[in-house]
Structure 1
């Protein structure tokens, strides 16, 4: 899990409101990622991609669930500095 300061940093960097992020976690498959579960896919698609590393994270991966019945179940976006 990410602490509140990391989540607040990401909300500002991606231009998200405070209700957009459900939770966040650090992931590591080589470079360290910050994964963010957003309230819905629309917010994930509207997130402003950062143009530089944020808070020491090389990559950011927002995830947002689609509405019930829509395929796929979620949309995943990634941004690179």
Structure 2
């Protein structure tokens, strides 16, 4: 099992992240990358997969998407 020390997490927030692409590159701190790119990117794909599955007849409920928050 892998453990992460709080100091390692904090160091990652301050680390510079560079995303290179054909039009140049984007630089951000680890914290900016997490909040402005990684988390929204994850939820975009999660929501899209949820919508596709529902469209194809898979019986999903709000609880399948939101966990305990959707059961109330």
Higher helix share: 2
Q: Which has the higher contact order (CA 8 A, sep 6+)?
A: 1
Larger radius of gyration between Structure 1 and Structure 2: 2
TM-score by length of 2: 0.23
TM-score by length of 1: 0.21
